[in-house]
Amino acid sequence: MNTNDVRKNQKVGVLLGGASAEREVSLKTGEAIYGALCRLGVNAEKIYVDGDLDRVLRQNPIDVAFIALHGTQGEDGCVQGLLELLGIPYTGSGVLESALAFDKVKAKELFRLHNVPTPPYYAVDGSKIDRMEEIHGSFGFPAFVKPRRSGSSVGAGKASSLGELKARCEEAAKFDRSVLVERFVQGSEVAVGILDGRALGAVEIVPKGRFYDYKSKYSKGQSDYYFPPRLSPTRYKGVLNIAERAAQCLGVTGAARVDLLVTEGHNEYVLEVNTLPGMTETSLLPMIAQGAGYSFDALVGAILERATLGHAGPRVVGAAGTTGADVAKNA
């Protein structure tokens, strides 16, 4: 089966945009994915997501949704639930898995239940920030603050005093009514790429700013990268193992990225699991996948191959048994 047959028999809608604070990143991710699908010979169409996605999908039916959204109403299970109701297979994790991974507090609860190391933390309601001295108590400084449900380091920052803590919490509360306060851990930032529950490899990130913030993530030249990370072979293997355990305890499927901190004291801490990793020219998952032998187009094809509808099992994307992986191989 060649790519023309796939193009004739399947229509893939790339969902991009959205209304979250990460809309601009989503647009870049979606454009990159759309370009790869076109090069693979897939009949792809860009679908810009606003408040009327249900109507758009009913008026312009697609066979498979390639989700290129980031942030709320994209990564949190909402769009996944809509696609389930419409009977449209989609890329990435399911409704529950997406929601659990996106909620940093619920994810940490599961990490702790499954003995996956993660920094100490607590959550605070945005309406109670004026009580931070009482709430923070003996937790100590420095601390790291981030919105409970958000990504791309939006609204995140380090606090070294009570005054900074209140200011950081107020900023984070602009993006979510609940704020996560985490023990600051000094260490190297390492991201692990996951596909089908198995680690593809890892990359070490060295931001030129204070931490790996929005600018460091999406502006060229703002971070240095080491692939593989500057770790001993034994420790590198351990980092990959921890990342796999983190993804497995949340039940994520398809492609994902696990973010960790690796300290000089030989401790590793999982920060979060991203179920819809960025796919821009500075994104980490494509960088890791390339080191594992996947071109960008092949990675997109592999993700498309794994599009599913709920728990019904893998959905074959191409006609007559042709999958995204076959498309990638034949491109």
pLDDT band at 2; cut points 50, 70, 90: very low
198 within 8 A of 178, measured Cβ to Cβ: no
Closest by alpha carbon to 303, among 58, 89, 99, 102? 89
Q: Tell me the pLDDT tens digit for each residue of 36-52.
A: 999 999 999 999 998 78
Could you tell me which residues are beta bridge partners of residue 144?
158, 182
CA dihedral 209, 213, 215, 218 (to 10 degrees): 120
Q: Percentage of the chain with pLDDT > 70?
A: 86
The string of DSSP letters for 175-212 reads: T-SEEEEEE---SEEEEEEEETTEEEEEEEEEESSSSS
Find where tokens 């989503």 sit. Answer: 26
Q: Tell me the pLDDT tens digit for each residue of 142-181.
A: 999 999 998 656 789 999 999 999 999 999 999 999 999 9
pLDDT band at 320; cut points 50, 70, 90: very low
Joined tokens for residue 74: 């994209």
Closest by alpha carbon to 88, among 158, 36, 10, 34? 10
Residue 142: asked if its preceding bond is cis (omega within 30°), the reply is yes
Query: What CA–CA distance (Å, rounded) separates 193 from 202?
Result: 6
- List helix spans (H) across the chain: 3-9, 23-39, 53-59, 78-86, 95-102, 104-113, 132-136, 162-172, 214-218, 233-250, 284-291, 296-305, 324-330
**Angle at which helices 296-305 and 284-291 pack, to 10 degrees?**
100
- Three-class SS state of 236: helix
Closest by alpha carbon to 56, among 33, 25, 79, 37? 79
166 within 8 A of 133, measured Cβ to Cβ: no
Strand order in the sheet with 143-147: 121-125, 178-183, 143-147, 157-159
Domains and CATH numbers, the chain: 3-91+312-330 (3.40.50.20), 100-117+186-275 (3.30.470.20), 121-183 (3.30.1490.20)
Closest by alpha carbon to 239, among 216, 213, 207, 271? 271
Q: What is the pLDDT of residue 166?
A: 97
Say which range, 22-26, 34-38, 66-70, has the weakest mean pLDDT: 22-26
Query: What CA–CA distance (Å, rounded) separates 318 from 202?
Result: 30
Q: Say which amino acid occupies 274.
A: N
- To the nearest whole number, what is the mean pLDDT of the chain? 88
The reported pTM is 0.88
Q: Tell me the pLDDT tens digit for each residue of 73-103.
A: 899 999 999 999 999 999 999 999 999 999 9
Query: What CA–CA distance (Å, rounded) separates 294 from 325?
Result: 11
* Active site (catalytic) residues: 22, 152, 218, 257, 259, 272, 274, 278
Tell the burial category of 25 from Cβ atoms under 10 Å away from its Cβ (0-12, 13-18, 19+).
Answer: buried
Joined tokens for residue 96: 């529950």
